[in-house]
Structure 1
Amino acid sequence: MSAVSFCVLPQRGVFAIAGTDRRSFLQGLVSNDVNKVSANGVIHAALLTSQGKFLHDFFVAEAAERLLLDAEAVRLEDLRTRLGRFRLRAAVTLTVENDWIVAVAFGPGTAAALGLAMKTVHHLAGGGVSYVDPRLPAIGVRLMGMPSDVMETLHEAGCNETAQIAYERLRLELGLPDGSRDIVVERAGLLECGFEELNGVDFGKGCYVGQEVTTRSKYRGLIKKRLVPVMVEGPVPVPGTPLLLDGREAGEMRSATEGIGLALIRLEALAQAQHASRPFHAGTTRLFPRLPGWMVLPLRPGD
């Protein structure tokens, strides 16, 4: 039996940008370089406020002369509205693909099973795509397209359908945020949520909305908090629950499931906890940070 599992992600949907100006239109708005998107290239990017605060994140692929955005399903209309404000005279059309689905395959040998061992993007029948997640290959392969095309691709590759909780646990263990569940809209900055290490921001691409604040945060060392995985011992705190270290508020819970979650923690408190091997507390629950290998934190003053 194949070790590759898959599940459909009902919380994700697909948004399409067509028209001759589609690349230049999106390039001036998002945190990553749209010029990296190609027949063999996909990016992860974000749309920000002018103050550099998070609005939306999405994956961007291209197929059939359209840019395809894998984004949060319940917020697709908000995304269309926000992008539409910048359309002006640009030759673009903005469409929500209501009939499409997003799925993810994961486990040992996923890329090879789906024909992505030597490339990062595969084009499906009907205009959809499958691609290695550009944030971190360990999280697997994402697919978007018509349900029949996506399911046929997965079944032909011998992938086994599983409950979404298996993917959720892997995501949390790897420390990957899931849109507005973990990144508070109009409050969070990208760099405190790992976008630099996870290939979601390009500091050499030039201007985009929120670029100045994001760049200043990096080069002036203004990041004071980070979203990190935590092992949970006890009842799982609900999102937004304050985390305490030695009785003082040090962070806030984000998404979680039994035994594992993400929390936004002040770097100063994180360094203290790491140095003394002390847990954070939320009521009777103890939480222990477990930093993934990709995460780079300035835990010492001046770093």
Structure 2
Amino acid sequence: MRSLSRRPLHELSPNRICRTCNLPRRHFSSSLPSPPRPPASGIAPLASRQLLSVTGPDAAKFLQGIITANVVSSKGEPRTDPFYTAFLNATGRVLHDVFIYPVRGCAPGGSAQAAGDDGFLVEVDAAQINALLKYIKRYKLRAKVAFRAIDPAEMSVWHAWNDTPNSTTLDMPAADPSRIVFRDPRAPGLGHRIIQLAGHKPPEVDVERATEDAYTIRRYLHGVPEGQDEILREQALPLESNMEHMNGIDFHKGCYVGQELTIRTKHRGVVRKRILPCAIYDRAKAAPPSLVYDPDPDPEAGGSPEALTADMIPAETSIGRSGKRGRSAGKWLRGVGNIGLGLCRLEIMTDVVLPGEQAAATFRDGDEFELEWGEEDNKSGVKVKAFVPEWLRRSIDGQQR
């Protein structure tokens, strides 16, 4: 979920607004219903994402110097396949996580480009598109490149998935000039990204029309962060945000802004914190054995319709050991219902063994952690458990061998 404090009320999901006084629900101690479980297969428009066009003879060379992925193929030619990447600041902190879609011979909106010109669509957090535009203009200098923020009415971003049993693929239509379709590379099974031209219907696939809430819940269950409310601007490190495991960093390309710290962390340092999916639960209950989205607490099973939900937890709330004082185990980022994302210390909150250690330093099976916030005389709190997705565990294990 995007930060309630940074979005106009008309952009908030109905589930995030009090129907009585039209204020965000974070102002109240009781919660409104969480979004329903995502459909097994679905397609959702992503109003939280917007496109920026970068065109011109120097477009590929220009982007090559300011993003973490390689814009050039192994043959030395501009890439033609979409990819995931990030813009960093000079100290190697993440500014924007983006998808980049190469286009050739035709500028967005249908206007022709000069023969051989490169063009790219950059998909970014919609609330930050002007900030990204301002940032990249700093590096333009004499490069022959042009920028334009694309109105959502001109091009829209969609996401489709299929989690039905015994199905491993989503049957997408053949190549069509009205859209760009590609498999999301960040985590296995996450789905397909779709860029749709205005005036054309989204792909006719045999799935249910869903909301962006459904897409967000699926991201959390896969452990995939997105946008500056989850990958904190100028705070998050790309490796702590799992970008190298989500196919967003090329460690063999040439220099780019923020490369020095990223490479040094990769080859010399140990990544002790990572963004992980988390489940929250009542302090009086046992920890959940697995990560499952539960939008409706069951009163008969001890749940309460007034229970605290993840979207009510303030961003960056510190995670502490239950009943103990000491070093913070991480911090909460964003959530919905009973799940969300946290930046977690691996050796404290998980059984992941870091390089150079014989066993997880302080983690013990049965350890519990909690989130607590509010004024001293009116505190709220829940317990929280971090999970390491299998795709991330396999990638970390393979990297350490």
Per the normalisation by structure 2, the TM-score is 0.67
| 2: CA distance, partners of 1:204 / 1:38 | 15
Count of aligned pairs between the two proteins: 289
| 2: CA distance, partners of 1:251 / 1:216 | 23
Could you say which residue in structure 1 is the equivalent of 2:384?
287
| 1: CA distance, partners of 2:206 / 2:168 | 10
Measured against aligned partners, the alpha-carbon deviations of 1:232-262 in whole angstroms (never above 9, x if no partner) come to 1142223211111133322110111111111
Q: Secondary structure at the match of 1:228?
A: strand
Q: Aligned-pair distance for 1:83? A: 0.6
Kept in 2: contact 1:191–1:214 (CA 8 A): yes
Matched residue type, 2:387:
R
Matched residue type, 1:148:
G
Kept in 1: contact 2:162–2:207 (CA 8 A): no
Kept in 1: contact 2:133–2:147 (CA 8 A): yes
Could you say which residue in structure 2 is the equivalent of 1:119?
none
Could you say which residue in structure 1 is the equivalent of 2:125?
72
Aligned 1:76-225 pairs, distance under 5 A: 76-98=129-151, 99-108=154-163, 111-115=169-173, 122-125=175-178, 128-149=179-200, 152-154=201-203, 156-225=204-273
Measured against aligned partners, the alpha-carbon deviations of 1:150-192 in whole angstroms (never above 9, x if no partner) come to xx232x2233211222211110011101121111111111000
- Larger CA Rg, structure 1 vs 2: 2
Matched residue type, 1:19:
G
Could you say which residue in structure 2 is the equivalent of 1:16?
53
Matched residue type, 1:279:
E
| 2: CA distance, partners of 1:280 / 1:266 | 12
Kept in 1: contact 2:347–2:363 (CA 8 A): no
| 2: CA distance, partners of 1:273 / 1:141 | 39
| 1: CA distance, partners of 2:342 / 2:176 | 36
Could you say which residue in structure 1 is the equivalent of 2:364?
275
Could you say which residue in structure 1 is the equivalent of 2:337?
258
Query: Quick one: structure 1 residues 266 and 232, their matched pair in 2 at CA, closer, same or farther if it must change by over 3 Å?
Result: same
Q: Aligned-pair distance for 1:69? A: 1.0
Measured against aligned partners, the alpha-carbon deviations of 1:186-221 in whole angstroms (never above 9, x if no partner) come to 111100010011101010011110111100011112
Structure 1: runs of 5 or more not aligned: 117-121
Q: Which moved more, 1:230-239 or 1:85-94?
A: 230-239
Kept in 2: contact 1:110–1:140 (CA 8 A): no
Q: Aligned-pair distance for 1:274? A: 4.8
| 2: CA distance, partners of 1:280 / 1:274 | 11
Kept in 2: contact 1:256–1:262 (CA 8 A): yes
Out of 309, 316, 330, the position equivalent to 1:240 is 316
Matched residue type, 2:157:
V
Could you say which residue in structure 2 is the equivalent of 1:60?
100
| 2: CA distance, partners of 1:298 / 1:202 | 16
- Indicate the structure with greater strand content: 1
Q: Aligned-pair distance for 1:294? A: 1.8
The root-mean-square deviation of aligned C-alpha atoms, in Å, is: 2.3
Kept in 2: contact 1:124–1:145 (CA 8 A): no
| 1: CA distance, partners of 2:79 / 2:66 | 18
Q: Percent of aligned positions with the same letter in both sequences?
A: 28
| 2: CA distance, partners of 1:10 / 1:137 | 23
Measured against aligned partners, the alpha-carbon deviations of 1:128-149 in whole angstroms (never above 9, x if no partner) come to 4111112124111111232433
Q: Aligned-pair distance for 1:111? A: 4.8
Q: Aligned-pair distance for 1:230? A: 0.8
Matched residue type, 2:155:
W
- Indicate the structure with greater helix content: 1
| 2: CA distance, partners of 1:196 / 1:170 | 20
| 1: CA distance, partners of 2:252 / 2:158 | 31
Q: Aligned-pair distance for 1:123? A: 4.6
Q: Which moved more, 1:103-112 or 1:22-31?
A: 103-112
Matched residue type, 1:55:
L
Q: Secondary structure at the match of 1:35?
A: coil
| 1: CA distance, partners of 2:197 / 2:383 | 43
| 1: CA distance, partners of 2:362 / 2:383 | 12
| 1: CA distance, partners of 2:40 / 2:318 | 38
| 1: CA distance, partners of 2:343 / 2:239 | 12
| 1: CA distance, partners of 2:91 / 2:170 | 41
| 2: CA distance, partners of 1:280 / 1:142 | 35
Say yes or no: does 1:44 pair with 2:99.
no
Q: Aligned-pair distance for 1:110? A: 8.0
